[in-house]
Amino acid sequence: MAIPNLHRAARIEDAVHKLVERRLRRTGWRTNIIAYTGYGAPGWARVMCRVLLGRPDTRQRGRLEKVRGWRSFTTLPAKHVTVTIETGGVVHEAQADRSGFIDTTVEADLPPGWGSVRLSMPDAEPVEAPVRILDPEVRFGILSDIDDTVMVTALPRPLLAAWNTFVLDEHARAAVPGMAVLYERLVTAHPGAPVFYLSTGAWNVAPTLTRFLSRHLYPAGPLLLTNWGPTQDRWFRSGREHKRATLARLAKEFPDVRWLLVGDDGQHDPEIYREFAAAHPDNVAAVAVRRLSPAQSVLAGSLPVPHDQPTEGPIGQKWLSAPDGAGLWTLLRGAGLV
């Protein structure tokens, strides 16, 4: 399926994938549907998945207790294949893009809470994709960054970040102290509140991240990740634009929900959250920033000013900053947000 004006890097990538796919299929590799957690509201659901080529024993290898980061990236997408989506007796079809990724919104008569949709195609085993349906009465949600907000990845240090991503065993990754308890307390204080995890990380690591969040007792919720590599018009995708677009989409999909935006000051979270708060003041309950250590801040190229008390944002929202979940919980309680 040719796409006009495709970027040169994308054309090269497609050509390499085509050659490799032909060889792998001859050696017995098969297609697998990787289901991601979706979300929605009564009447509709956003369904996300990827179709990849994998070894015939992929299902068995998935049971291994230890997974090196690089294994998550040794995959090959099944481009432009069609997947059948079944929900509530209604059947939809969606076509994967050149990354094997499907991101589509379908009609779905699912009740509020956790549900599932069935994904299938002729030459792959069907899978169930979990879907979180928000109750129309919900007015509060949590949208959290992942890297250095819930999981220590040391992204301000590029070499160490690469080691953590591609080499380190997933069980060796550390959780940011107190953040899981913070989120659990928040969802207890706000029954029905959803938790979304927004990151510039690649969809390749979604299974690893899901296991990490579950192992460290974070509330379950959809991952909103992106793809690495060339796009139709550029060499690499923009992580900042991914976050901006995702925030704007959530504001449109759930106009009555006010979000607690949680991030860290090591990259661009405060800047992106400030822009969103200015554009959508009615959709922001507060901004909670996990403050990195002085050494991490220097390596990140910034020297944030510590804030031990809540401060007002440019349009009245509460902006909180603390080094861990316990500190943020204290500030949230003091600001009357729980």
In a domain, 156, yes or no: yes
The pLDDT of residue 236 is 52
* Residues in Cβ contact with 93 at an 8 Å cutoff, skipping those fewer than 6 apart: 82, 83, 84, 85
**Looking at the structure, do residues 153 and 244 belong to the same domain, yes or no?**
yes
| Both structure tokens of 271 | 């800047």
**Looking at the structure, do residues 107 and 238 belong to the same domain, yes or no?**
no
- For CA atoms 277, 334, 177, 266, give the dihedral sign: positive
**Looking at the structure, do residues 30 and 159 belong to the same domain, yes or no?**
no
The pLDDT of residue 228 is 66
For residue range 79-133, what is the model confidence (pLDDT) as tens digits?
A: 889 999 999 889 999 999 888 999 999 999 999 999 999 999 998 899 999 999 9
Residue with tokens 């554009």: 279
For residues 226 and 209, what is the distance between their CA atoms, to the nearest angstrom?
13
The pLDDT of residue 70 is 45
The pLDDT of residue 166 is 56
For residues 109 and 96, what is the distance between their CA atoms, to the nearest angstrom?
24
* Domain with 34 in it: 8-133
In a domain, 2, yes or no: no
In a domain, 290, yes or no: yes
The pLDDT of residue 294 is 65
The pLDDT of residue 1 is 43
CATH at residue 268: 3.40.50.1000
**Looking at the structure, do residues 42 and 190 belong to the same domain, yes or no?**
no
The pLDDT of residue 208 is 86
The pLDDT of residue 54 is 74
In a domain, 17, yes or no: yes
For residues 81 and 67, what is the distance between their CA atoms, to the nearest angstrom?
28
In a domain, 1, yes or no: no
**Looking at the structure, do residues 155 and 278 belong to the same domain, yes or no?**
yes
Q: In the chain, which ranges are E strands?
A: 30-41, 43-54, 76-77, 82-87, 90-95, 101-108, 113-121, 124-133, 140-145, 151-152, 174-175, 195-202, 223-226, 258-264, 284-290, 311-312, 318-322
The pLDDT of residue 200 is 87
In a domain, 3, yes or no: no
The pLDDT of residue 65 is 43
**Looking at the structure, do residues 317 and 196 belong to the same domain, yes or no?**
yes
| Both structure tokens of 121 | 């195609």
Stretches in the chain below the pLDDT threshold 70: 1-28, 55-75, 154-170, 172, 228-238, 294-317
Please state the pTM of the whole predicted model: 0.82
**Looking at the structure, do residues 110 and 147 belong to the same domain, yes or no?**
no
**Looking at the structure, do residues 225 and 319 belong to the same domain, yes or no?**
yes
